[in-house]
């Protein structure tokens, strides 16, 4: 049995049934990995690198990691938030936290793959724009300096949804009119979190980029 460990935020996290159709891409990754894999999804709503460490979530997940396992780290979405429980700075504490996680995982003789955050569905003048500031570039630079695997999911998803367009891209996110889903009778306008279709799409993108390391 091969084991994958995911650490990240709400875009990756497993969702409660009373939140459906909201789905984290981490829930759908097993569809691409196949039956010989088991996935431990340690991603949590609202989580940053700082809160992942401070809350004990990372330590709890680390205890399950064994030699030969693979771990994916995808943060940045909440590291930019202003509250002191989550805030990090891209070129200092954010990078330091990611390096700490990588070092601890590699002590277990497991492999780390860094991902930048997936894009938010935010358009301006007909084009999607980067809402994650310098965090994608910071994790990219860190991975390069450590000679570690890196997937620029921010860039990859921005390009995909930009080409798809403002209206057509809504079907992948929790952005829909009233009356479509029983749990959301008034509709929803959430451009960060994914519907089932979006989670499957992103999981497929992630798999395509990491399969060479597996």
Which residues belong to the active site?
A: 10, 189, 193
Helix (H, G, I), strand (E, B) or coil at 121: coil
Six-digit token string for 195: 């519907």
Helix (H, G, I), strand (E, B) or coil at 157: helix
CA distances, 22 to each of 25, 40, 56, 133, 193 (Å):
10, 19, 25, 25, 7
CA separation for the pair 68, 89 (Å, rounded): 31
Computed from CA positions of residues 189, 197, 202, 55, in that sequence, does the dihedral angle turn out positive or negative?
Answer: positive
């Amino acid at each position: 049995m091969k084991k994958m460990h995911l650490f990240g935020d709400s875009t990756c996290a497993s969702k409660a049934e009373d939140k459906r159709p909201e789905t984290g891409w981490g829930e759908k990754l097993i569809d691409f990995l196949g039956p010989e894999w088991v996935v431990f999804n340690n991603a949590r709503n609202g989580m940053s690198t700082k809160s992942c460490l401070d809350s004990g979530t990372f330590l709890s997940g680390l205890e399950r990691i064994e030699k030969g396992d693979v771990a994916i780290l995808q943060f940045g979405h909440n590291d930019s938030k202003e509250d002191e429980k989550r805030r990090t700075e891209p070129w200092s504490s954010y990078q330091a936290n990611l390096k700490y996680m990588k070092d601890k995982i590699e002590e277990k003789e497991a492999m780390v793959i860094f991902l930048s955050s997936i894009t938010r569905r935010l358009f301006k003048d007909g084009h999607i724009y980067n809402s994650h500031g310098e965090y994608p570039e910071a994790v990219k630079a860190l991975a390069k300096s450590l000679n570690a695997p890196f997937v620029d999911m921010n860039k990859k998803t921005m390009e995909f949804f930009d080409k798809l367009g403002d209206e057509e891209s809504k079907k992948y996110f929790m952005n829909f009119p009233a009356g479509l889903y029983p749990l959301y009778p008034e509709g929803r306008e959430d451009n960060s979190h994914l519907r089932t279709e979006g989670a499957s799409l992103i999981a497929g993108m992630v798999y395509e980029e990491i399969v060479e390391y597996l």
